[in-house]
Homo-oligomer: A and B are copies of this chain.
Amino acid sequence: MRTTLCDTLGIEHPIVGFTPSEHVAAAISRAGGLGVLGCVRFNDPDELDAALDWMDANTGGKPYGVDVVMPAKIPTEGAAVDLAEYIPPEHRDFVRRTLDELGVPELPADEQQREGVLGWLHSVARSHVDVALRHPVRLIANALGSPPVDVIEQAHQHDVLVAALAGKAEHAVRHVDNGVDIVVAQGHEAGGHTGEIASMVLVPEVVDAVGDRVPVLAAGGIGSGRQVAAALALGASGAWMGSYWLTTVEYQQIPGNSVTQQALLAAGSSDTVRSRIYTGKPARLLKTRWTDAWAVDGAPDPLPMPLQNILVSEAHQRIMRAEDPSVVSMPVGQIVGRMNEVRPVADVMADLLAELDKTITGLNDLR
């Protein structure tokens, strides 16, 4: 199964896998897809550099990409310590009280509070790009749509392609006008930042809007070969999958992730919620006692990006250490209902491709 995307990216199968884990990303690339490492968790560019060194040594020479979080317009920003001044005390009180009520322990005294996930800041995202371009990355994807034009030009000078997520056809066209090489049409059912329009409608709309200017990847709701076949039927050149890799064996290699996996394995497709509590922009998350607490009457409205992430940053650290699946704070799509066992990336990929082939044979036999 080859599409134009395979040639564009130099990959074997039209499957792009987004993941916050370098172990998962490398395994996706080794399995013939394109592993895309999410950079947002790397506050320190040197940490990202080390992770990409590890990728370079562990992808078997196969291509890989990175994903940054960068608005097209460069915002006014300060250090986290300055931004924190804009957070109302009522919001801080709500978070503190909620964590107590949920039974989430305080951080140990010896664990210094980190300064939040600064990858949401433009300057940090830009440092991610600089680091990535020192490595043989094939693709830089931006979760917030088109990156600034100078970043696109910088990538192109290094012969690196740029992908951008779009939740509407008009955004996709704007991205391509800015020089983006691949559009990721992210449907409502997707995990993380997502719009209102579901994949069934969004994908052909984006495909028709960009025409043959760039390939389109379908994102949102994909975790089986039938769904990859549906994405290709809708006109996509391949699938962008994020959630589905969260229950792989390789994902367990980051400490704390097995508690997250417990929560994901138990969840059905109805157990997600689209909320602004994670970043300040609407993002689909696993529905847990943490998201429930923000949905009750009297809970404060989430703050705008990047303040909301700074507000909940310590909460996320505490939740990660709590080892309680019922309070997990985790972006995931509706496909979580199909994430019911922990398997190696290679097995996931093999099953996807086999079912994809079987599905197309089945469609053909109907005629």
Contact = CB atoms under 8 A, between A and B. Distances in A.
Interface in A28-67: none
A202 B227 CA distance: 11
Interface of A: 1-3, 168-169, 187-189, 196-202, 204-205, 220-222, 224, 226-227, 229-235, 269-270, 333-335, 337-338, 357, 359-360, 363-364, 366-367
Given A188-B198, A197-B334, A357-B367, 8 more contacts: A188-B189, A189-B197, A189-B201, A197-B269, A201-B338, A230-B233, A233-B233, A360-B363
Nearest to A232: B363
Contacts of A359: 233
A198 B196 contact: no
Residue of A221, A224, A227, A230 contacting most chain B CB atoms (<10 Å): A230
Contacts of A200: 187, 189, 198-200, 220-222, 227, 230
Contacts of A230: 200, 229-231, 233-234
Nearest to A223: B201
A235 B226 CA distance: 7
7 contacts: A168-B269, A189-B198, A201-B221, A202-B269, A205-B269, A229-B363, A230-B230
A364 B199 CA distance: 22
A231 B196 CA distance: 20
Contacts of A233: 226-227, 229-230, 233, 359-360, 363
A144 B227 CA distance: 27
A334 B204 contact: no
Contacts of A169: 269
Nearest to A207: B226
Which 3 A-B pairs rank lowest in CB-CB distance, beginning with the nearest?
A200-B221, A198-B198, A230-B230
A96 to B, nearest CB: 28
A198 B223 CA distance: 14
A1 to B, nearest CB: 6
Contacts of A199: 198-200
A215 to B, nearest CB: 13
B337 A205 contact: yes
Contacts of A366: 1-3, 232, 360
Contact of A201 (B231, B235, B337, B357): B337
Given A168-B270, A366-B232, A221 B198 contact: yes
Contacts of A187: 198, 200
Contacts of A188: 188-189, 198
Nearest to A2: B366
A338 B337 CA distance: 30
Nearest to A229: B233
Nearest to A3: B366
A311 to B, nearest CB: 24
Nearest to A199: B200
Contacts of A201: 189, 221, 269, 333-335, 337-338
A269 B334 CA distance: 21
Nearest to A273: B196
A197 B273 CA distance: 11
Contacts of A220: 198, 200
Nearest to A337: B205
A272 to B, nearest CB: 8
Contacts of A231: 230
Contacts of A338: 201, 204-205
Contacts of A2: 366
